[in-house]
Chain A
């Protein structure tokens, strides 16, 4: 089960692996690729929008990252993104930028853990 500092929730990964028939991993691998590509792009967009001081857009991107990360079991990323989203709702731009660094860190770990699963 999920420990606070776990990078990935392996029960989510296990459920995703079982999506294909007869142990077919192709759907799982596709989802993994999709997440790695899309979330990396969203992280970059988040950084730019925070830099530009666009609180509303940042909140939206954090919202999307929150649910897509949860889909792949990247719970820490999801949790931090949720906090960024909440701060965005309260118009706290400074707090968002501070949290972004830890979100990026968590995302990096999650991505490398996911890439390791590909093998």
Chain B
């Protein structure tokens, strides 16, 4: 079981990543002057991607004690280009996680891992004996076993999650071992070992949830890290419960505070000092993450799911992004639009709207004209210039006194406008008109895709037809038409470069009697087998073609008549050695061959073939099963 799960996860690309992370990275790396730390930070918002980047960085490290455990170091170790392409490819490919891991709450997993990591970093830096970046990584990856279960065994794991809901981590680990053969901390440790992470990180991840069972730590650093992870997890749990540190349970001297204080060997007072620092950092992270965080400020983000592209067949509402700096207008817009069946997200200014638009890909944007930071027109220009939202329908809401900007607005790429304060009926009528436009455009896009698909099929079909026109059906060798064309090309090339060119004309002896005494079916088999032997004897630039009947032509570029005669002799011997078995019948055939070459003084395709044909006839006349490569019409005078 263990090995099987690991194999399934050989590449961390199999672990799902957060939707939208790739876009964040696009946004960050759009400008040349992006800050390295910012990129590392964005990578860190995703445990699966962090694992992949660390794995890559550690692939070049030979000494175990030099293993890299922080994303910043990994980014320095790898080139920026590598990091960027891995990050992008990785997250974009795996961004669609529909249908994976039923019952597994991905957003909770991601935000939970991150808050755990933030807490661990602060605890480590307060203690001073562990690198904060290492503590951060260890905590971030500590739950990756759960993600791996959800990705590789969605059905079984959903069952485990269902039966253990609300139970302690000890009971969950036991249920995992029972149902899946190993628990998520064993799996996480195995993954980290596979990614060549340092031994103390592996130990800490393996052990921190096993309380009160303790595993032997390989060194004091590993033990310290284990304690930090355990303490950080309790801190993170308090955060995720929504109470933050404000509940009475978090007073100085309370049970939880005392536990963590003991666990991480920090004074309760020092622990409480950390509180505000963690709160403010968590706010920053939740900005990057854009996942529901347990803070009121993030309330608006909880309806992310409503903005996912609608499934085919679901009711026809648009994904609309409404943008206005006035909360009253925003609330009214949301009310009217969602009542008309659309899914609505809101932003308070252009910059926020842009970020949201890149992630949620709204079909329509209803925006105010003047806003602080980035106004409606700047927003529109930015969207039109982006790859992701360039075709969103933009409806701008203009206030009294802004009429003069309407022309400018259309130039910026706005599709339609409505006056403010808006009459709801007029607003909705304009939205519906826009919806017709959007649907029309989407239809055209679909038609275009269908057309492209048909074109592709057509060209494949054309290629097949062309191939068929040039191929002999029975032997699958190129046919006479191909032979003539190829020979023309070779002749022209030889005349240009002065290189030699020879051909062999080859005829199966007594083929008529094979057909007469054994039937055409046997005759066909003889043709096929002979063709196969001839093909088996030719090298890269030589080509065997079937001219018709029992007649074959071998084109031999770059060969003098003498060389070609030697080759013809090998062909003769190979055919003679061939045994054809059909049921109880065992047959042998022989061939007569005529060789002709440019050295013979012919300078046309027709002349070459006719000369070779005469020599093959001469070979028949001299008793068959032999090669004739001279005489019989040498020279120009007799070629006609």
Residues of A whose CB lies within 8 Å of any CB of B are: 12, 19, 27, 30-31, 34-35, 38, 60, 63-64, 66-68, 70-72, 78, 82, 85-86
CB-contact partner of B370 in A27, A60, A68, A72, under 8 A: A60
> Closest CB of chain A to B114's CB: distance in Å?
32
Query: Are A82 and B326 within 8 A (Cβ)?
Result: no
17 contacts between A and B (CB under 8 A): A27-B335, A30-B331, A31-B331, A31-B332, A63-B399, A66-B400, A67-B368, A67-B400, A67-B420, A68-B326, A70-B420, A70-B421, A71-B326, A71-B329, A71-B332, A71-B421, A78-B400
- The number of residue pairs between A and B whose CB atoms lie closer than 8 Å in the complex comes to 48
Query: Are A34 and B331 within 8 A (Cβ)?
Result: yes
Residues of B within 8 A of A70 (CB): 400, 420-421
Query: Are B401 and A85 within 8 A (Cβ)?
Result: yes
B372 within 8 A of A: yes
CA distance A66 to B326 in the complex (A): 10
CA distance A64 to B329 in the complex (A): 10
Query: Are A19 and B335 within 8 A (Cβ)?
Result: yes
New A-B contacts (15) at CB < 8 Å, excluding given A63-B370, A68-B329, A71-B326: A12-B421, A27-B331, A34-B327, A38-B326, A38-B328, A60-B370, A63-B399, A64-B325, A66-B399, A67-B326, A67-B368, A67-B420, A70-B400, A71-B329, A78-B400
Chain A residue nearest to B422 (CB atoms) is A71
Q: A34-B331, A38-B328 are in contact. Are A67 and B399 (CB under 8 A)?
A: yes
CA distance A38 to B331 in the complex (A): 13
Interface residues of B in 318-332 (CB under 8 A from A): 325-329, 331-332
Query: Are A86 and B331 within 8 A (Cβ)?
Result: no
Interface residues of B in 397-441 (CB under 8 A from A): 399-401, 420-421
Range for the number of chain B residues in contact with chain A:
10 to 19
Query: Are A31 and B328 within 8 A (Cβ)?
Result: yes
CA distance A38 to B335 in the complex (A): 19
Q: A35-B328, A68-B326 are in contact. Are A60 and B401 (CB under 8 A)?
A: no
CA distance A71 to B327 in the complex (A): 11
CB-contact partner of B328 in A34, A63, A82, A86, under 8 A: A34
CA distance A34 to B324 in the complex (A): 14
Query: Are B332 and A86 within 8 A (Cβ)?
Result: no
Q: A34-B331, A70-B420 are in contact. Are A64 and B400 (CB under 8 A)?
A: no
Q: Which of A60, A67, A70 has the most CB of B within 10 A?
A: A67
Query: Are A72 and B401 within 8 A (Cβ)?
Result: no
CA distance A34 to B328 in the complex (A): 6
